[in-house]
Amino acid sequence: MSCASAYWVRRSQWTDSSPETMLCSGAFVPDRYVPLDSELHYKKNPNYIFADDVSLSGITVRQVENPQQAMMNYQSGGYDIIQVSGETVDLAKGDPALLTVGSGNEYFYVLNGNRVTALKKPNLRHALCLSVDRESIVRNVLKQGFTPVYGLVPPAFANEADGSDYCNAKEDYSEITGFDPVKAREYWETGLKEEGISSLTVEMVVREMKNSEPVVDSMENVLPGLHIEVRQVTNQQFSEVVAATDYDILLRGWIADYPDPKSMLECMVYKSVMNGEAWLNEEFEHIIHTNCLETDPVKRMELLHKAEDLLMEDYTLIPYYLRSQNWLISDSIEGYSFNFRGSFPYCNNIRKESK
């Protein structure tokens, strides 16, 4: 299935944590589970439809709060697979076993010109798009193993009809959103002159400060006369802000539901929970709402490329980073694969070779 499913159960089962009462349909089922324990063990599911192809007899999953401890256990051979993040990503650099998997979870800034009308000017919007040194920020400041992105549909996420990466076939948006301080200042100064102003103050709304502070610094350093006031809000307030389009710049995150460009692009439909009333393009709306009627897969992808072009060429959003997942997987492990979210490796066909 393309996304998670929910199964309704009796209320009496909610508090019963024994493995016998858990509803499972995959290659493995839990056989030892203690609530709040740091370890969960799975055994092979004899009722799995492809049980004969499953070679492992069981899998142990351990929750380790200290990432450096997890790294040490992996290096000593105690763990076969670990997820790495933060400082441990730096420690793992250079290790041939380090694997970065895209997640379909992208963060980007949405520009809204409904409050500060100067933000409707293409030159000012383009200047903002070109003023973010995301490559340096992601690699040297955030240090989470994230991937800088320049369009709304991320790489290694969706395929063309011939199986090639959707991003390999689409327009390179580096001219629109790539870091170029010289061109950014040129567009900025032109835009300010068009408005008859020498400076501009805008409000950026975020849910957490740390990932946006370097972006604010980058924008203000590149664009003279720009002042960004940052407003941090709670999750509940954030939904209200989007519904009311009560922002000038908004940091958004979107997790795709299925590996198709439409799953990313539809978040910018007018009056959606992601876009609110910040941006409207009738041609974009038509493509997103009708592309599913196109039965030719090649033509359908061409339509989706057109939709993304319309979005990016209007300087509507500033792509920031893809929240990639980083894994260290022992060379004794074979047959693993990941879904488009990269959250956990599929274990159905995993094999462990003796060393």
pLDDT digits (tens, 9 = 90+) for 48-101: 988 888 888 888 888 888 888 888 888 888 999 998 877 777 778 788 888 888
Gyration radius from the chain CA atoms: 23
Residue 347 lies in a domain: yes
Q: Is residue 7 part of a domain?
A: no
| Total residues belonging to the chain | 355
Q: How far apart are CA 17 and CA 13, in angstroms?
A: 8
Shared domain for 171 and 303, answered yes or no, is yes
Tell whether 236 is covered by a domain: yes
Residue 272 above 80 pLDDT?
A: no
Task: Burial-class residue 352 by CB neighbours within 10 Å (0-12, 13-18, 19+).
Answer: middle
pLDDT band at 36 (very low <50, low <70, confident <90, very high): low
- 118 shares its domain with 87: no
Predicted TM-score (pTM) of the model is 0.81
Q: 279 and 188 in one domain? A: yes
Give the least confident one: 139-143, 149-153, 170-174: 170-174
Is residue 13 a part of any domain in this protein?
no
User: pLDDT of 226-238, one tens digit each?
Assistant: 999 999 999 889 9
Closest listed residue to residue 253, CA positions, set 104, 138, 85: 104
Q: Could you give the number of structural domains in the chain?
A: 2
Q: Indicate whether 4 belongs to any domain.
A: no
* Same domain for 82 and 116: no
- Name the average pLDDT for the chain: 87
In a domain, 252, yes or no: yes
Q: Is the pLDDT of residue 352 over 50?
A: yes
151 and 61 assigned to the same domain: no
| Structure confidence at residue 9 as a pLDDT band (50, 70, 90) | low
Q: How far is CA 279 from CA 33, 146, 269, 317, in A?
A: 49, 27, 8, 10
Q: Are 179 and 309 in a shared domain?
A: yes
Do 221 and 179 belong to one domain? Answer: yes
Q: Are residues 208 and 237 in the same domain?
A: yes
**Model confidence at 312: pLDDT above 90:** yes
* pLDDT the model gives residue 2: 42
Query: Angle, to 10 degrees, between the axis of helix 181-195 and the axis of helix 122-129?
Result: 150
Q: What is the CATH number of the domain that holds 63?
A: 3.40.190.10
**Is 68 domain-assigned?**
yes
Same domain, 338 and 263: no
In the chain the first and final C-alpha atoms are separated, in Å, by 35
Q: Are residues 125 and 85 in the same domain?
A: no
pLDDT band at 1 (very low <50, low <70, confident <90, very high): very low
Asked if 279 and 295 sit in the same domain, the reply is yes
| pLDDT reported for residue 346 | 76
Question: How much of the chain exceeds pLDDT 90, in percent?
Answer: 44
The verdict on 90 and 195 lying in the same domain is: no
Q: What CATH number has the domain bearing residue 268?
A: 3.10.105.10
Domain that holds residue 178: 105-322
Q: What is the pLDDT of residues 201-245, one digit of tens each?
A: 999 999 988 899 999 999 999 999 999 999 999 988 998 898 888
Q: What is the pLDDT of residue 196?
A: 96
SS3 297: helix
CB-CB neighbours of 224 under 10 Å: 12
* DSSP code, position 350: -
Helix residue ranges, H only, 113-272: 122-129, 134-136, 166-169, 174-177, 181-195, 213-222, 235-244, 261-265
CB 352 within 8 A of CB 56: yes
The verdict on residue 234 lying in a domain is yes
